[in-house]
A and B are shown apart, each in its own frame.
Chain A
Amino acid sequence: MKLDYLDQLESEAIHIMREVAGQFERPALLFSGGKDSITLVHLARKAFRPGKFPFPLVHIDTGHNFQEALDFRDWLAESLGERLVVRYVEDTIRAKGLKEPTGRNASRNALQTFTLLDTIEEFEFDACIGGARRDEEKARAKERVFSVRDEFGSWDPKRQRPELWNTYNGKIHKGENVRVFPISNWTELDVWNYIKRENIALPPIYFAHERELILRDGKLLATAKGVIQAEEGDQIVTRKVRFRTVGDISCTAAVESEAATLDAAIAEIQATRISERGETRIDDQVSEAAMEDRKKGGYF
């Protein structure tokens, strides 16, 4: 009697979600319409059906999304009959008079944190479930499953709680919150293999399609009116591509691909010699500690 590794990972993730339901008053599931949070939603179904989810799905909308991901987000929430809360970075910028980053490769990544923290305050969320994986980045490799953030949303790697066996301590003071990562121990390939095994639907941008793109510094960026435009040195090209991650349209690069099916996409990921974030996330490449610094600032 031995569980396959995907069953072990699934069981662990379900256990973590149920601990959130059992330990917190007002949890939320952060949902972007990307493959990792789609996997979380699927795991929540397994954890709580035939009951309702004990939390709403929450999207912090930067306004720089792929339309395909937004459509998918709305369709999924609707078809599950679960509550979807959307809060807009645009509103935060206006309300707080924030300055938008400008220039080449500017993104709203940092601004997103303000909206997230405001949303947590608005709904008094005490736990936010997120789809981060430890294999994504070296600062994430150190993150606990239950990661306590202070009232400023800040992560302090030196003050993390020890986390033993499968016992999770979610006790917090008012104003603090916990970020919870049920798929911490999954790799990119595990997520894909699970999506295939469970027959989970994904937005179409994950599969090869022809698209108009900006070729900039060797990276292919989707065009989007008002969000990202070609600058000097850029080229507008049409290529067959797919997206390996779905972040902000302004800083998520496409990969050239013929993979139109799940099997083909998995084969491609197995063969690649470049990491997921290395290949697609421009925002992580700013410095050696870019992710660590963002997390200290409250980024999820």
Chain B
Amino acid sequence: MDLLRFITAGSVDDGKSTLIGRLLYDSKSILADQLEAIERASKSRDEGEIDLALLTDGLRSEREQGITIDVAYRYFQTPQRKFIIVDAPGHIQYTRNMVTGASNCQLAIVLVDARHGVVEQTRRHSLIASLLGIPHIVVAVNKMDLVDYSQDVFSNICIQYAELAQKLSLSKDVTYIPLSALNGDNVVDKSVHMPWYDGKTLLSHLEDVAIDHDENLTHARFPVQYVIRPQTTDLHDYRGYAGKITSGIFRKGDAVTVLPSGETSTVEAIELAEAHYDEAFAPMSVILHLADDVDVSRGNLIVKSDRQPIVSQNIEAMLCWMDTKALKAGSKYTLQHGTFRTRCVVREIVYQLNINTYEEATDVDSLKLNDIAKVILKTAQPVSFDPYTQNRVNGGAILIDETSNVTVGALMLRGEVE
């Protein structure tokens, strides 16, 4: 069985929590005691019907305010597939949470209120999906019950969105589904109210969407996490490099290069505990052995020599700023790229992207929480990366504040600059 991680993007009133609740409820993924608990809670708020949104709002302050304030993860499975739902709040002040949630997802459900069509927040969520390189998009046109299940309304929204998708060079795989999360139309069960819609229900699409080719198998990348050296009498010369293959395939005998040093060797063995492999591929965690005694330590990247990444100290990147303390051009941070850390300075803010209008503002010298910008970085030591658009894991990095130690920025690395 395979695994699909998807994010649901929608603002406070789009019915996102209700949609997740409905998905879990109609696929019978809610257990009896959990259901009783939300029935009790719904009653105590005097709302009459069961409020499926209560399933997802886990924290005290969320229940108090009736909104989602942080990313939550939920799990369910059908006979076809296992699912991890990344439930991220969509409100503008939580842009950083959506970026966080989107970083690991293969699919995004963008909720659109049928009454309002493509609005500012749709543009915002789609921009983030595009920046974070999510391969599959579902446009869930919700609240169809409030527009008399009108086919015209749905078609117009599809046309509007297709324009947007083109502008953003969003994933080629965009699917449109008209639904009502509140009533359960086309979520798990086919709606009787929309006979004109002959596509799949949301769940059935989630079960079928082809994700086999999402993994990057062309760029073999292995960030070294830890060197295993038992140093016992029987394993005196054992030296294994522990890590996870983040993309691509490694085979015994492959010529490899250790970055950033550029030393070369070949793969002598691939193992994990008692298992030995002739080849291993992303996202397997393994131990690599090299034929030669080269210098390898945590933070190094082992790659297949025939397709090497960019190794540079001058990098152009898209940045989502995640801290309440503003970023000022010229400030220094720690950059963490996989297992590698180095200091860096934000040399220049090239432009700030208006996440609602997509306009690029130049002459910006500082960034606030949730701002997105194109920046130029200079790092203390070279970073071995691929452009994010080609390799999501080896193209992503974070910025860490050197005094608070907090993760303050998400970087989508783009390329080398002069």
Q: How far is the CB of B150 from chain A (nearest CB, A)?
A: 36
Report whether B400 and A164 are in contact in the complex, using a CB–CB cutoff of 8 Å: no
Q: How far is the CB of A188 from chain B (nearest CB, A)?
A: 10
Which one of A45, A49, A141 lies within 8 Å of B74 (CB-CB)?
A141
B199 interface hit (Cβ, 8 Å): no
Report whether A2 and B228 are in contact in the complex, using a CB–CB cutoff of 8 Å: no
Report whether B63 and A288 are in contact in the complex, using a CB–CB cutoff of 8 Å: yes
Interface residues of B in 211-260 (CB under 8 A from A): 212, 215, 217, 225-226, 228-230, 235, 238, 240, 242-244, 246, 249
CA distance A51 to B37 in the complex (A): 47
With a cutoff of 8 Å between Cβ atoms, the chain B residues found around residue A14 in the complex are 244, 272, 285
Report whether A1 and B2 are in contact in the complex, using a CB–CB cutoff of 8 Å: no
Report whether B405 and A173 are in contact in the complex, using a CB–CB cutoff of 8 Å: yes
A274 interface hit (Cβ, 8 Å): yes
B192 interface hit (Cβ, 8 Å): no
**Binding site of A, secondary structure by majority: helix, strand, loop or mixed?**
loop
Q: Given A1-B249, A169-B405, A185-B84, decide whether A11 and B41 contact each other with a Cβ distance below 8 A.
A: no
Q: How far is the CB of A37 from chain B (nearest CB, A)?
A: 18
CA distance A153 to B400 in the complex (A): 22
Which single residue of chain B is at the shortest CB-CB distance from A13?
B285
CA distance A281 to B346 in the complex (A): 50
Q: Given A162-B96, A164-B410, A166-B244, decide whether A185 and B33 contact each other with a Cβ distance below 8 A.
A: no
Which single residue of chain B is at the shortest CB-CB distance from A10?
B285
CA distance A135 to B281 in the complex (A): 28
With a cutoff of 8 Å between Cβ atoms, the chain A residues found around residue B66 in the complex are none
Q: Given A4-B2, A171-B405, A278-B31, decide whether A142 and B70 contact each other with a Cβ distance below 8 A.
A: yes
Chain B residue total in the interface (Cβ 8 A): 72
**Binding site of B, secondary structure by majority: helix, strand, loop or mixed?**
mixed
CA distance A288 to B59 in the complex (A): 9
Report whether A167 and B405 are in contact in the complex, using a CB–CB cutoff of 8 Å: no
Which one of B58, B272, B336 lies within 8 Å of A46 (CB-CB)?
B272
Chain A binder among B98-106, B113-121, B122-130, B352-360: B98-106
Chain B binder among A17-25, A70-78, A104-112, A229-237: A17-25
B75 interface hit (Cβ, 8 Å): yes
B375 interface hit (Cβ, 8 Å): no
Which single residue of chain B is at the shortest CB-CB distance from A160?
B70
With a cutoff of 8 Å between Cβ atoms, the chain A residues found around residue B226 in the complex are 18, 21-22, 54
CA distance A61 to B66 in the complex (A): 39
Which single residue of chain B is at the shortest CB-CB distance from A277?
B33
User: What per-residue 1/0 map shows which CB atoms of B137-180 lie under 8 Å from chain A?
Assistant: 00000000000000000000000000000000000000000000
Report whether A275 and B104 are in contact in the complex, using a CB–CB cutoff of 8 Å: no
Q: How far is the CB of A173 from chain B (nearest CB, A)?
A: 7
With a cutoff of 8 Å between Cβ atoms, the chain B residues found around residue A41 in the complex are none
Interface residues of A in 119-152 (CB under 8 A from B): 134-135, 137-139, 141-142
B383 interface hit (Cβ, 8 Å): no
Report whether A8 and B283 are in contact in the complex, using a CB–CB cutoff of 8 Å: yes
Report whether A50 and B238 are in contact in the complex, using a CB–CB cutoff of 8 Å: yes
Which single residue of chain B is at the shortest CB-CB distance from A293?
B60
Which single residue of chain B is at the shortest CB-CB distance from A6?
B1
With a cutoff of 8 Å between Cβ atoms, the chain A residues found around residue B103 in the complex are 164-165
Interchain residue pairs A-B with the least CB separation, the first 8 = A138-B58, A278-B33, A14-B285, A171-B405, A5-B3, A164-B103, A18-B225, A273-B32
| 11 A-B residue pairings within 8 Å (CB atoms) | A1-B215, A3-B284, A5-B1, A14-B244, A15-B285, A50-B238, A54-B226, A138-B58, A275-B31, A288-B37, A292-B58
Interfacial residues, chain B to chain A (CB-CB below 8 A): 1-3, 31-34, 37, 41, 56-61, 63, 69-75, 77, 82, 84, 96-97, 99-100, 103-104, 212, 215, 217, 225-226, 228-230, 235, 238, 240, 242-244, 246, 249, 272-274, 281, 283-285, 298, 322, 334, 336-339, 392-393, 396-398, 400, 405-407, 410
Beyond A4-B2, A10-B285, A48-B228, 11 additional pairs, beta carbon < 8 A: A14-B272, A15-B244, A21-B225, A51-B229, A142-B58, A161-B406, A162-B96, A165-B104, A166-B246, A273-B32, A275-B33
